[in-house]
Structure 1
């Protein structure tokens, strides 16, 4: 049995690969999503502590973990690493594609949200468009309470509930899915008189190239928070061939 952590485009790709090759797996997400596994899969949802994960892996006789969740899921990275080390399980990190960094005065990479907001406070006047996700609304309170900010979040009731719980003004929310349409992204910037963008280095699955292109097209700065480092024990795989080669090498 293989345990797949998903909830992302990459997670669904992994599930499809395992179904294709007839490998039994559990597909796990933090929050419940609409996911219907095929004949070789099972689905579970809910956050897991390191102890919970160890108990689950023992009970389900998990032999390997494929970690395909979001690159900014730092807590999950550490939880998986702790469990895998304790149970001597291999962890295959199914990584998404990231574009090469562009060198431009309007593009700024930072190591943390704190560094991002400090730079924004010094260099930007006007409305900030935050494309960092609903989970970052509460941590960024110190900024948006003082500076007009619009958050784009997923059009889900659960996301709206989190925004409201954080006390964020509902009228400053844009509830829509991100996409690769540069024209629509540019229109969003113009319509809302955006003067800067804050986003995460979430790769092409997170439409980072489109976000950068829209910022450059509008002549406004984009601040990009770098993704957290992964544990050194994670084994990178990037496609069906490398994933199956790794699993076959482990006799899975």
Structure 2
């Protein structure tokens, strides 16, 4: 991919796209690939290449790391809802003049039969829930359950990779699972727990989209939290292939 000395690439990761990109780039002997994980999952799936876990200390800390480690290119392949790190990356990359690319999978699009209720935040999702159902399936992650803790009249099925910590809803059952999830499995989950409303973030991941189809089939309303705004002026690829092509051009 590149000629001359080994070039250092930092991937801000944790997503499926980040792992696939790391695997492709790590196979190039001309590259040194480091993936940075936030450390919010107890046992993350580790990508190929070098791995660091934990924050950088804001944009200044990230800029220092980029300079110290002589990073030639920075790729932000974090979750679409990991907004803070994306803005930190944009500031840090600009400060030390390191090329930056964002990898963002396309968002979900409602189809015929979908009963979607788009909202701007978890707090807004909690506000519309009582009018839509009484038994909610929460697939928004364990970090945001405090937004629903005050809804004492509702029952929640919560799915996350790691066990959530308080504050959480009083009436709640937790399922510890990691995707991908099958359509048949999602159908059975909705049926077994008598779910009448689904709450999700627009992550856009194919591995977790089966729940949307199951909800459509069952006629269940879906509260969809819109993605937060992204930094302006950062080029975007929709997957690992586009990111690898950008890197080839950038490091040529």
**Is the pair's TM-score, using the shorter chain for normalization, greater than 0.5?**
yes
Q: Within 5 A, what are the aligned runs for 1:228-239? A: 228-239=228-239
TM-score by length of 2: 0.86
- Higher helix proportion, which one? 1
Map 1:89-238 to 2 at 5 A.
Answer: 89-104=98-113, 106-121=115-130, 123-143=131-151, 145-154=152-161, 159-160=162-163, 163-168=164-169, 172-208=173-209, 210-238=210-238
Counterpart secondary structure, 1:4: strand
Structure 1 Cα separation of the partners of residues 197 and 68 of structure 2: 49
* Cα-to-partner distance string for 1:114-152 (whole Å, 9 max, x where unaligned): 22222212x223211101011111233233x44221211
Q: 1:108 to 1:36 in 2, by over 3 A?
A: closer
| Larger CA deviation: 46-55 vs 169-178 | 169-178
In 2, distance between residues paired with 1:83 and 1:59?
Answer: 13
* Cα distance change on mapping 1:139 and 1:77 into 2, 3 Å: farther
**Alignment equivalent of 1:17, drawn from 15, 24, 27:** 24
SS at 1:150's partner residue? strand
Residues 9 and 205 in structure 1, CA contact (< 8 A), matched pair in contact too: no
SS at structure 1 position matched to 2:196: strand
Map of 1:85 onto structure 2: 94
Change (3 A) 1:171 1:220: closer
- The residue that corresponds to 2:242 in the other structure is 242
TM-score when scaled to structure 1? Answer: 0.86
Contact preservation (8 Å) 1:152, 1:176: yes
Q: Give the direction of change, closer, same or farther, for the CA distance of 1:47–1:165 in structure 2 (3 Å limit).
A: farther
Alpha-carbon shift at residue 241 of structure 1 (Å):
4.4
Counterpart of 1:2 in structure 2 is 9
Counterparts of 1:116 and 1:206, CA distance in 2: 23
Q: Which runs of 5+ in 1 are unaligned?
A: none
Report how many aligned residue pairs link the two structures.
Answer: 240
Structure 1 residues 146, 234: closer, same or farther in 2, change over 3 A? farther
Question: CA shift at 1:179, angstroms?
Answer: 3.0
How far apart are the structure 2 equivalents of 1:226 and 1:167? 22
Residue deviations 1:54-110, cap 9 Å, x none? 121111011211111111101111211221122222211122243433254612222
Q: Distance between the aligned counterparts of 2:35 and 2:28, measured in 1? A: 16
Query: Contact 2:72/2:98 (CA < 8 Å) preserved in 1?
Result: yes
CA RMSD of aligned residues (A): 2.2
- d(CA) in 1 for partners of 2:139, 2:214: 13
Give me the whole-angstrom Cα distance separating, in 2, the residues matched to 1:114 and 1:227: 14
